[in-house]
Amino acid sequence: MNIQMRFRKLTKYERKILETIASTIIPHPRGIFKKSVFDVDIASKVEYHLGHLSKEARLAYRFFLILIAVGAPFYRLKFKRFGKMDRETRKEYLEAWHRTWLVPKRIIARFVEALIMMNYYTTPEVASECGWRPKFSPPLPPPSFPKENLKSNMEGEIEIEKDVCVIGSGAGGAPLAAELAMAGRSVVIIEEGGFFSAEDFRDDPIHMTNMLYRDGGLLVTFGFPNIVLPLGKCVGGTTLINSGSCFRCPDHVLNRWVWEFGLSKWAPERLKKYFEQVEKTIGVSVPPENLTGGNTRVFKKGLERLGLKGGIIPRNATHCKGSGVCAFGCPTRAKKSMEQNYIPIALSHGAELYTNCRAEKILYEKSLAKKVICSFIDPSTRRKKGRLVIKAKIIVVACGTLHTPVLLKRSSLPDPGGQIGRNLTIHPAAKVIALFDEEVRAWDGIPQSYYLDDLIAEGIRFEQIFTPPALVAPNIILSGEEHSEIMAKYNQLACFGMIIQDSSRGKVFALPNGKPFIWYSLNKYDLAKFKKGIHHLVDIFFAAGATKVFPCIYKFPAITKDDGADIIYKKRISARDLDLQAFHPLGTCRMGANPKESAVDADGRLYGMDNVYISDGSIFPTSLGVNPQITIMAAALKIAEHINKDRF
């Protein structure tokens, strides 16, 4: 799918700055990679990527390019323009941006360089030189459904009336829509993104990221540290681009909801049947060990030497071929994301799905929602090209933890407890990359197939992860020849990640342009979890035989075996020193028995409204500590059952 974004292109001056930075951090010629940044036309690649980011991110990137160039003459008072510096001085100047105690400067350098590295290493010839050669088996047959119920590329003015309007087609919206459609209710599903199939998922990773992710995969939290929070924007939501890991919410978390939030309906024994139903529908099973790949092999070696034991992660991909590109859509249809099961089920039972259709506002009178006003969006230009007005008896908001509160606030819906947009948890995540003398081929197999939970009682969980070169490169906090040499040994790298059950809490604000502003800062307790977890991973990798590790800590870009893991405790590390991501936002419309402390009741109904429900991760009162997708699906079935029995 060729997507052409309309935006003001980089000027010649901006392109020159970008190319100068690129040739500094990815030097050539050196004999490491055959193609230089000029050979791959790096400026045009980054420019295309920028077209998929938010307007604010594009403006920031251009400003940052100029800022780096303008600051160059003042470096060591040499009074030389950026382009006139010799390469060694330019390298030192850019490295100074990373080493500074001024966090904004570090963020600027990371943002500018990350896009360059991503777009250089996504070039097929460069990725192949690194050793990444994905194998795509023929896709399984697609699920069948009445094609007339899939409404794509709509325009003009349309008005419809339905029993239920579901806003969102991800883990919260799709199961609920399917359940109500099977019960005979007339259902319409609204999805801001497009509908894609396995045949679309065979391009390079950055092209796929631009196509499937919101804002080009670079949605970022504000606070300390800034955290990248990738979200899907497509039919199936983030289930289409996640790892496929399936863990039930732990009983101790559900029991906490019962005694702390008065949610007796959510006791473990009362959720069991919904979990079982979800697992059957999406085909959860434990994959064979031969698909877990070299990443698991070397990590298990370290575990065995330390007397530890992990396990293979259950997944919704029974017929997985180990393509290794789960985060960019499954090219074989093995991963059963929502567009493979619940969406076809809903459409086969009469539901209608409108794609590239954004819900703008919910209209209501007193405590009764009347209509949902939506806009048809041209995916190429992001411009509105029509309007859909939906009159519905029940409205279910399933936009996800970050966008559900924004829609509610934009609609000025009641918020008696003032809780909408508060209590954000995100399962912040870190990763440790390790270099071995031996070939690992960590990309060959399931990217996330093994876990370790020996520190789960402390809120720390370890999960394997590996990605293509384009996404490994920005996580190695080095530059120049040193960085290129590591990337040339891509096949000798392994990686393991960690997520924490965060006690930190953030907020989501609705900006005037309708987008979320996410504020989240790591507290000292969660910082301590990261120090311990990263130390543990470094220990395991050195026990496995790694010669060097890259822990994604600015003060320790690389740690050698001679340094040892204990070096992490020898310097003061703050939240600002961590390079983190997050994949599981939860809690911004939390559920509870007390309307003064919660946004929705135990059935998912929005306090202050009679016919508005929320069905996504935003209703969870606390962090789960595990991947949340099947818990969200189970919650959706539970809420659907209530709506069907008690509201019709």
For residues 95 and 206, membership in a common domain is answered with no
For residues 263 and 410, membership in a common domain is answered with yes
Q: Give the per-residue pLDDT at 513.
A: 86
Segment among 47-51, 357-361, 399-403, 521-525 with least mean pLDDT: 47-51
pLDDT in tens, 416-456: 999 999 999 999 999 999 999 999 999 999 999 999 999 99
Domain end point (choices 577, 602, 620): 577
User: Can you tell me the mean pLDDT for 152-173?
Assistant: 97
For residues 378 and 256, membership in a common domain is answered with yes
Is position 5 within any domain?
Answer: no
For residues 491 and 354, membership in a common domain is answered with no
Q: Is residue 3's pLDDT more than 80?
A: no
pLDDT in tens, 273-312: 999 999 999 999 999 999 999 999 999 999 999 999 999 9
Is position 563 within any domain?
Answer: yes
Q: Is residue 193's pLDDT more than 50?
A: yes
Is position 129 within any domain?
Answer: no
For residues 178 and 256, membership in a common domain is answered with yes
The pTM of the full predicted model, rounded to 2 decimals, is 0.97
For residues 409 and 349, membership in a common domain is answered with yes
Q: Is residue 322's pLDDT more than 60?
A: yes
Where would I find the H helices in 132-218? Answer: 173-182, 205-212
Annotated catalytic residues are 584
Q: Give the per-residue pLDDT at 101.
A: 82
- Domain range for 64: 12-121
Is position 303 within any domain?
Answer: yes
For residues 98 and 185, membership in a common domain is answered with no
> How far apart (Å, rounded) are the C-alpha atoms in residues 9 and 12?
9
**Is there a contact between 243 and 327 (Cβ–Cβ < 8 Å)?**
yes
| DSSP β-ladder status, 559-560 and 450-452 | unpaired
For residues 309 and 333, membership in a common domain is answered with no
**Is there a contact between 426 and 586 (Cβ–Cβ < 8 Å)?**
yes
Please tell me the total count of domains within the chain.
3
Q: Is residue 8's pLDDT more than 80?
A: no
Q: Give the per-residue pLDDT at 2.
A: 46
CATH of residue 192: 3.50.50.60
User: Can you tell me the mean pLDDT for 371-379?
Assistant: 97
Structure tokens at 461: 């969980």
Is position 138 within any domain?
Answer: no
Angle (CA) 23-8-192 rounded to 5° is: 105
For residues 252 and 335, membership in a common domain is answered with yes
Q: Is residue 364's pLDDT more than 60?
A: yes
Is position 381 within any domain?
Answer: yes
User: Can you tell me the mean pLDDT for 366-386?
Assistant: 95
Q: Give the per-residue pLDDT at 387.
A: 98
Q: Is residue 388's pLDDT more than 50?
A: yes
Query: How much of the chain, in percent, has pLDDT values that exceed 70?
Result: 98
For residues 488 and 609, membership in a common domain is answered with no
Domain end point (choices 68, 101, 121): 121
Q: Is residue 26's pLDDT more than 60?
A: yes
> How far apart (Å, rounded) are the C-alpha atoms in residues 469 and 596?
48
- CB-based contacts of 228, cutoff 8 Å, min separation 6: 217, 218, 219, 220, 580, 581, 582
For residues 380 and 269, membership in a common domain is answered with yes
Is position 17 within any domain?
Answer: yes
